């Protein structure tokens, strides 16, 4: 990437972005990482703070609405479960001065399950789309999260490759 003034050019042919856009992209990526860490560390309150008050979220079950519902859903995690969520292939597009959209793939590893077993293999692979909104205090928060489970598709694909 080269930069002239406040504009950043991506040689891969993407649109010109301002440094403000790049900072927004980094802030949104930081929110995604903070969410994964809070979930993995068993901190549902901290994870829920990363969402808007009136958010709409799919966390792998039925959709929930509102920050408190997100906190409750995360607090219902089985006791003793330790996970590692890795986020990859994330792209962030700034859609307005106070909005952005991110697409990511999240792989969930269960390091220790609630029954004490440990295998460390990926349990879920998800395609995630997040809509971000800038809060009044200039923080980026997740306003909407949609998840699509890719695990079954990957399992089927792997069986096809084994033949």
Residue 85 lies in a domain: yes
Is residue 162 domain-resident?
Answer: no
Q: Give a yes or no: residue 161 inside a domain.
A: no
pLDDT digits (tens, 9 = 90+) for 94-111: 999 999 999 999 999 999
CATH number of the CATH domain containing 126: 3.10.450.50
The domain containing residue 139 runs over which residues? 2-156
Cα 24 to Cα 54, 80, 90, 111, 135: the distances in Å are: 21, 36, 14, 32, 13
Q: Is residue 163 part of a domain?
A: no
Residues 15-73: pLDDT tens digits? Answer: 678 999 999 999 999 999 999 999 999 999 999 999 999 999 997 778 999 999 999 99
Kindly report the pTM of this predicted structure: 0.83
In a domain, residue 81? The reply is yes
Number of structural domains in the chain: 1
């Amino acid at each position: 990437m080269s930069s002239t003034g406040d504009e950043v050019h991506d040689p891969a042919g993407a649109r010109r972005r301002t440094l403000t856009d790049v900072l927004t992209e980094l802030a949104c990526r930081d929110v995604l990482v903070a969410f994964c860490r809070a979930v993995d560390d068993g901190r549902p309150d901290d994870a829920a703070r990363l969402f808007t008050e009136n958010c709409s979220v799919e966390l792998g079950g039925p959709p929930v609405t509102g920050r408190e519902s997100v906190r409750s859903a995360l607090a219902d995690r089985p006791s003793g479960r330790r996970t590692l969520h890795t986020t990859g292939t994330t792209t962030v597009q700034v859609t307005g001065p106070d909005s952005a959209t991110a697409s990511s793939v999240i792989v969930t590893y269960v390091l220790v399950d609630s029954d004490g077993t440990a295998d460390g293999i990926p349990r879920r692979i998800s395609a995630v789309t997040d809509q971000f909104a800038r809060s009044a205090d200039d923080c980026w928060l997740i306003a909407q999260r949609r998840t699509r489970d890719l695990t079954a598709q990957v399992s089927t694909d792997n069986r096809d490759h084994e033949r």
